[in-house]
């Protein structure tokens, strides 16, 4: 079966760095997405990786290793507004998105 695993919840301190991991087992791979979802709101797109390596976008970076079925989202200089759930999703061989359950990130002052 297809499976996406990410931690349920993480806590970090304002101004610090946090890494949210995602491991996946899917039938085929056509890219990995990260979305941010604030409580009660819609998910919003953060990043897309299809090749191995690190993609940097401001305070957020996303890394992919296809051979290990592994990705992480790195958030630097954490701000209180970064408190949200972070969803990992993999596009399989049928171009369907398989979603993880999300990681709830709590930022403390």
Return residues touching other proteins (CB under 8 A).
Answer: 4, 8, 30-31, 33, 40-45, 48, 50, 87, 89, 91, 95-102
Pairing assessment for the beta strands 60-65 and 44-49 based on DSSP bridges: unpaired
Nearer to other proteins, 67 or 95 (CB): 95
Min dist. Cβ of residue 92 to other proteins (A): 10
**Buried (b) or exposed (e) across 4-17, using 16+ Cβ within 10 A?**
bebeeebebeeeee
User: What are the φ and ψ backbone dihedral angles of 75, each rounded to 5 degrees?
Assistant: -115, 120
- The distance of closest approach from Cβ of residue 42 to other proteins in the complex, given in angstroms and rounded to an integer, is 4
Give whichever of 21 and 76 is closer to other proteins, judged by the CB atom. 21
- Distance in Å, CB of 3 to other proteins, minimum: 10
Measured CA to CA, the distance from residue 32 to residue 51 in angstroms comes to 9
């Amino acid at each position: 079966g297809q499976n996406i695993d990410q931690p349920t919840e993480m806590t970090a301190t304002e101004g610090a760095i946090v890494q949210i991991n995602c491991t996946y087992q899917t039938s085929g791979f056509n890219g990995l997405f990260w979305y941010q979802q604030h409580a009660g709101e819609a998910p919003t797109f953060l990043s897309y990786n299809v090749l191995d390596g690190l993609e940097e976008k401001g305070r957020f970076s996303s890394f992919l290793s296809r051979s290990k079925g592994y990705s992480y989202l790195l958030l630097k200089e954490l701000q209180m507004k970064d408190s949200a759930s972070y969803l990992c999703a993999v596009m399989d061989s049928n171009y369907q998105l398989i979603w993880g359950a999300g990681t709830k990130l709590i930022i403390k002052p």
